[in-house]
A and B are shown apart, each in its own frame.
Chain A
Amino acid sequence: MSNSLKNLEVGDTLPINRVKIDSKIYKKYNRLINEINPLHFNKKYAQKLGFEDIVVAGNFNYTFIPKWIIDWTGIVDSIKEIKITFEKPVYINEEIIHSGRIKDIYVKNNEKIAICEFNVKKINGQQVYHGKIKLLIEP
C-alpha cells in the first residue's frame, strides 16, 4: 500500500495540482473524441452564447481529477467515486489549480474509506468546480 494512504488522517491536504489547458492540446482532444458541440471549439459561437471564449468541456476537465489522485496515491483502483459540480466555465489557455483535503475516514463493510473534498480554481482565485472523492485506503 502507498505510504500516502497508509498514514492518511482527517485534515491532511492533497498535493496541489496545476493544469494549463493548452489550446493546441485541447484542439487535438476535440478531434480525438469527435466533439460536436460548437461551444467547445467555435469562439464566435461561444461568444454568441455569452461566454468569453471557447469553453473547455466538463469531460476534459474531469480527466485531470482521477489522474491527480492516482499520481498521488500510486494506486489505479483506489478511487471508488467522484462527484463533480461545474460552477463556472473554464476557457482555453487558462490555468486551473486543484486542491483537496481529507474530510473523513471511516470503515464500512470491512473497507477503510477516505472522503476528500476538492475544489478547482483559476489563477485569479475564481472557483470553477468542486466535488468529493471516495478513496479506498484499505481493502
Chain B
Amino acid sequence: MQNDDKFASFKRKLDEIIKDIGIRELIINEKEIIKFCELINDNNEIYYNNSEAKKSGFEGKLVPPGYIMNLTNPYIQKIFIKGGAEFFPGLIKGVIHVGSKIKYFKPMIMDKKFKIKIENSEPVEKSGEKGSYYSVIIKLSILDQEDTVYAIDNHEFFFKLN
C-alpha cells in the first residue's frame, strides 16, 4: 500500500471509530475509586465522606482529580479494540501516549451522572529520529446531563504507520 493510501485508510478508520464511540454514559464506580485511593495512599476525606465534602462547600463526595485519566482510559482503549486487526497489525506499527493536557472546570461530584464525549484532531505528520509519524490528539470531554463541561482530557498520541 502506498504511503498516501495508508494514511487515508488510517484517517478514515480513526474518524469512523471516534464517530462510532461518540458520546457515552460515563460510569463512575465509587468502590473502584475508593480502592484506587487506598492504592495510592490518598486519605483525603473529601473522596470518602459526604459530610466532610459538604463541610468543605461541595455538594457531595468528589472524584479525585488524579483519577480522571482512569475515567477516560476505557474510551481510549475502545479505539484500539474497535480498530482490531485493521489497526494492529494492519495499518499501525506502534503508538505511544506522549502527553496530556487536562483542564478542570468544576469538581466532579461522585453521585452525579456524567457523560463522556470523544473527538479527534486531524493527524499531523511529523518526523523524528525514527522516521515519520502522525500526531493525533484525542479529546475526551466530561459533561453533565445539561452539557456543562467538568473536565477535558486532551491525550496526545504518536502513531507510526506500517
Contact = CB atoms under 8 A, between A and B. Distances in A.
Interface of A: 25, 28-29, 32-34, 36, 49, 58-59, 62-67, 70, 76-77, 79-86, 129, 131
Interface of B: 32, 35-36, 39-40, 42, 44, 46, 56, 58, 62, 64-67, 69-70, 73-74, 77, 80-81, 94, 96-104, 106-107
> Interface on chain B toward A: helix, strand, loop, or mixed SS?
mixed
Contacts of B98: 85-86
A59 B99 contact: no
Given A32-B32, A62-B69, A76-B56, A67 B40 contact: yes
A1 B31 CA distance: 31
B39 A28 contact: yes
Contacts of A76: 44, 46, 56, 58, 62, 65, 107
B102 A64 contact: no
Contact of A66 (B32, B35, B64, B96): B64
11 contacts: A25-B39, A28-B39, A33-B73, A36-B77, A36-B81, A58-B97, A58-B99, A67-B42, A76-B44, A83-B102, A131-B99
A85 B35 contact: no
A62 B103 contact: no
Contacts of A86: 96-99
B6 to A, nearest CB: 21
Contacts of B99: 58, 83-86, 129, 131
Contacts of A33: 32, 70, 73-74
Nearest to B29: A32
